[in-house]
């Protein structure tokens, strides 16, 4: 199959643009002028006139939760609610409208107490009991590191005020001496298990819906942590994804980021499981990626692991999800098997301790396995220097600033805030830093993310000069972070992330020129066509 795209403004690399591209059997074979490429059109199966539009490499989200994106399409929409009462009403209305979906439990994600306009407290069991006392309810904070439940779920867990806490996670006790329905860290997973999971058949449909949404917004690759978080049945998840891609239903390239809650389970995965028995062809759209760990919680939940605590709560240093000795065991075993490790880190102490573990797991004193920091938000100058000097990768989410710029100075102080979210500085200092959204924490639409990286302004265009504007990047740098750098994060920089000869024909045709448009419009850009492996998977 040979396809020619011409009459386009094609972004090749910084400062380099072309007009036309030739694709054969999913691989880019030529890039050049219209005359050069159209000279070959006689043998083409399809010739696409791009009508002068801008063509960029396919966008590659370096960290998200793809299956959970699909789940949110089937759940009560509680993201962005302005009060606990509004959330209660939404869930009650959802339960009345879809009784079959909630008969065994109601689960949803998206509330954020910092957005509540009245009482900015965490919702508890007394609140959720107003939705129902007949079936279990589990509502996750937007970060996924705190959940609120109703009394029915607590009863089904079989715990009371005298019960021992769960490993690596707590359930909070109310003034009445009984669990108040608020769970943190790993205890969230234990609470969520009470709600029956989607069937494999349901998940099949959910993933296909997520793919349609992704390609309609210009994503051609996703690096997704579903196994061990959203999808606790790891073997079932691997089988389902293989089924989707083996049948040709896949629309985006998918790379697994895999979690384990048990060291022996990880060891078995490496020695007897998917890691050694899974079948992944060299050019498969489905690939097996790194081990994913969680070191701390989130800034908004005040569970990010902080060296000096929080400004108004200095004795609260946050949460250490995985202890150093356990993380060392995971990292050393990963090193033995040549496996990359990527770790959720938000607080400065979490980042420092994680870099320590990575250093002990380096190969020949270097980061040859490309271990990475996911989020990497709260940093001081020494941490930034360590990241640069040690060659640590960063999977960043600039879009987080849309909310976090309103809380980071209050929680961390201006001095620390000024050296945090320093993604522009890290890129300019040569760090391999890629962009993602952590979807569904944020929408996987990449253009608001690029807008945030370029302007450092929220969706309303504030603050006027940008939030610590020295961290702004130009559009070409932002595109590279979402394409070439994301490909580097998965050891595929020689095959993905560029519109060059020999690279995968993953490309996105935009409805306006992202390089010349008013920066305020970047967030509103949408594709008119998305191509993966030379196949048009979306047309508007």
What is the number of structural domains in the chain?
A: 3
The tokens for 9 are 């403004």
Q: Are residues 439 and 510 in the same domain?
A: yes
- Whether the CB-CB separation of 385 and 352 falls below 8 Å is answered with no
- Asked whether the beta carbons of 433 and 473 are under 8 A apart, the reply is no
Residues 428 and 532 in one domain: no
Q: Is the pLDDT of residue 436 over 80?
A: yes
The reply to whether 216 and 227 lie within a common domain is: yes
* 336 & 478 share domain: yes
- Structural domain includes residue 67: no
Q: What is the mean pLDDT of the chain?
A: 96
Residue 331, pLDDT > 90, answer: yes
Q: What is the pLDDT of residues 311-326, one digit of tens each?
A: 999 999 999 999 999 9
pLDDT score of 72: 81
Fill in the DSSP letter of residue 115. Answer: G
- Sheet with 20-24: list strands edge to edge: 27-32, 20-24, 2-6, 46-49
Say if residue 97's pLDDT is above 90: yes
Do 175 and 230 lie in one domain? The reply is no
Q: Flag whether 69 is in a domain.
A: no
Residue 301 has pLDDT above 80, yes or no: yes
Rounded average pLDDT over 113-117 = 93
- Residue 214 belongs to a domain: yes
Residue 465 has which token pair? 């000069």
Q: Is residue 270 part of a domain?
A: yes
Q: Which residue segment(s) compose the domain that 302 sits in? A: 200-524
pLDDT at 73 over 80: no
The pLDDT score that the predictor gives to residue 197 is 82
Q: How confident is the model at residue 524 (pLDDT cuts 50, 70, 90)?
A: very high
Helix H, strand E, coil C: the string for 434-459 is EECCCCCCCCCCHHHHHHHHHHCCCC
User: Can you tell me the distance from the alpha carbon of 399 to that of 450, in angstroms, rounded to the nearest whole number?
Assistant: 8
**What are the helix (H) ranges across 28-115?**
34-38, 66-72, 84-97, 99-102
Question: Tell me, what CATH number does 12's domain have?
Answer: 2.30.40.10
Is position 152 within any domain? Answer: yes
**Alpha-carbon distance 72 to 210, whole Å?**
10
Q: pLDDT tens across 252-295, in order?
A: 999 999 999 899 999 999 999 999 999 999 899 999 999 999 99
Mean pLDDT of 520-531: 98
- Does 260 share its domain with 187? no
Q: Which residue in 185, 130, 125 sits closest to 156, CA to CA?
A: 125
Q: In what order do the strands lie in the sheet with 535-539?
A: 16-18, 9-13, 54-57, 507-510, 527-532, 535-539
pLDDT (0 to 100) of residue 107:
95
Q: Give CA–CA dist 13/484, Å, rounded.
A: 9
Q: Around Cβ 214, how many Cβ atoms within 10 Å?
A: 28
The answer on pLDDT for 464 being more than 90 is yes
266 vs 172: CA distance, rounded Å: 30
Residue linked to tokens 């066509």: 529
How many CA within 13 A on the CB side of residue 304? 29
Contact 159, 174 (CB under 8 A): no
Please indicate, yes or no, whether residues 89 and 223 belong to a single structural domain of this protein: no
Q: Assess whether 204 and 161 both reside in one domain.
A: no
User: Which CATH number do you get for residue 462?
Assistant: 3.20.20.140
pLDDT tens digits for 147-183? 999 999 999 999 999 999 998 789 999 999 999 999 9
In this prediction, residues 413-426 reach a mean pLDDT of 98
Domain termination residue (choose one: 192, 210, 242): 192
pLDDT at 162: 95
Determine, yes or no, domain membership for 37. Answer: yes
Q: Are residues 20 and 159 in the same domain?
A: no
Give the pLDDT score at 68.
87
What burial class does residue 26 get, using C-beta atoms within 10 Å of its C-beta: 0-12 exposed, 13-18 middle, 19+ buried? middle
Is 452 contained in some domain? yes
Q: Is residue 319 situated within a structural domain? A: yes
Q: Which helix (H) or strand (E) holds 374?
A: strand 372-375
Q: What is the pLDDT of residue 180?
A: 97
Report which of 273, 272, 224, 278 is spatially closest to residue 246, judged by C-alpha positions: 278
Q: What per-residue confidence (pLDDT) applies to 117?
A: 93
What is the pLDDT at residue 198? Answer: 85
| Residue 101, pLDDT score | 87
Q: Which tokens sit at 435?
A: 């962009």
Could you identify the residue written with the tokens 């939705």? 131
Residue with tokens 């098997």: 337
Do 532 and 518 reside in the same domain of the chain?
no
pLDDT in tens, 204-244: 999 999 999 999 999 999 999 999 988 888 999 999 999 99
CATH number at residue 102: 3.10.310.70
- Judge if 335 and 297 occupy the same domain: yes
Q: Are residues 393 and 532 in the same domain?
A: no
Question: What DSSP assignment string belongs to 325-352?
Answer: HHHHHHHHHHHHTT--EEEEE-SHHHHH
* Cβ-contact 417, 409 below 8 angstroms: yes
């Amino acid at each position: 199959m040979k396809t020619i795209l011409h009459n386009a403004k094609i972004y090749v690399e910084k400062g380099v643009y072309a007009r036309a591209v030739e694709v054969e059997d999913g691989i880019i074979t030529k890039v050049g002028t219209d005359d050069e490429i159209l000279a070959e059109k006689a043998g083409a199966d399809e010739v696409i006139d791009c009508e002068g539009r801008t063509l960029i490499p396919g966008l590659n989200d370096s960290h998200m939760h793809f299956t959970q994106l699909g789940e949110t399409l089937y759940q009560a929409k509680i993201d962005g609610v302005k009060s606990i009462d509004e959330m209660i009403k939404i869930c009650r209305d959802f339960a009345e409208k879809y009784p079959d979906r909630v008969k065994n439990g109601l689960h949803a994600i998206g509330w954020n107490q910092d957005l509540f306009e009245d009482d900015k407290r965490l919702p508890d069991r007394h609140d959720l009991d107003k939705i129902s006392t007949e079936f279990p309810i589990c509502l996750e904070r937007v970060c996924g590191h705190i959940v609120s439940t109703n009394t029915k779920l607590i009863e089904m867990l079989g715990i009371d005020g005298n019960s021992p806490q769960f490993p690596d996670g707590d359930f909070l006790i109310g003034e009445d001496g009984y669990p108040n329905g608020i769970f943190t860290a790993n205890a969230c997973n234990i609470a969520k298990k009470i709600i029956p999971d989607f069937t494999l058949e349901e998940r099949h449909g959910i993933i296909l819906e997520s793919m349609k949404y992704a390609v309609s917004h210009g994503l051609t690759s996703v690096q997704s942590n579903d196994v061990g978080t959203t999808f606790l049945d790891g073997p079932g998840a691997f089988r389902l994804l293989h089924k989707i891609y083996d049948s040709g239903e896949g629309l985006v390239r998918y790379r697994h980021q895999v979690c384990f809650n048990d060291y022996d389970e990880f060891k078995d995965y490496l020695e007897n499981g998917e890691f050694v028995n899974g079948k992944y062809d060299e050019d498969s759209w489905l690939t097996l990626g790194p081990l994913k760990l969680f070191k701390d919680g989130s800034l908004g939940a005040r569970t990010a692991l902080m060296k000096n605590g929080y400004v108004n709560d200095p004795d609260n240093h946050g949460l250490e999800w995985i202890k150093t000795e356990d993380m060392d065991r995971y990292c050393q075993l990963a090193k033995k098997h040549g496996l990359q490790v990527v770790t959720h880190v938000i607080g400065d102490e979490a980042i420092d301790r994680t870099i320590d573990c990575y250093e002990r797991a380096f190969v020949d004193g270097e980061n040859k396995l490309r271990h990475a920091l996911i989020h990497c938000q709260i940093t001081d100058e020494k941490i930034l220097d360590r990241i640069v000097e040690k060659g640590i990768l960063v999977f960043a989410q600039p879009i987080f600033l849309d909310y976090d710029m309103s809380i980071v100075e209050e929680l961390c102080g201006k001095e620390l805030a000024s050296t945090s979210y320093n993604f522009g500085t890290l890129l300019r200092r040569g760090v391999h830093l890629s962009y993602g959204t952590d979807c569904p924490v944020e929408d996987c639409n990449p253009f608001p993310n690029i807008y945030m990286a370029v302007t450092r302004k929220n969706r309303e265009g504030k603050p006027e000069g940008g939030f610590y504007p020295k961290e702004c990047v130009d559009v070409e740098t932002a595109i590279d972070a979402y394409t070439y750098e994301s490909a580097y994060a998965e050891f595929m920089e020689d095959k993905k992330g560029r519109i060059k000869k020999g690279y995968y024909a993953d490309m996105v045709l935009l409805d306006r020129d992202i390089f010349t448009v008013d920066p305020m419009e970047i967030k509103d850009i949408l594709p008119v066509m998305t191509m993966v492996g030379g196949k048009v998977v979306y047309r508007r």
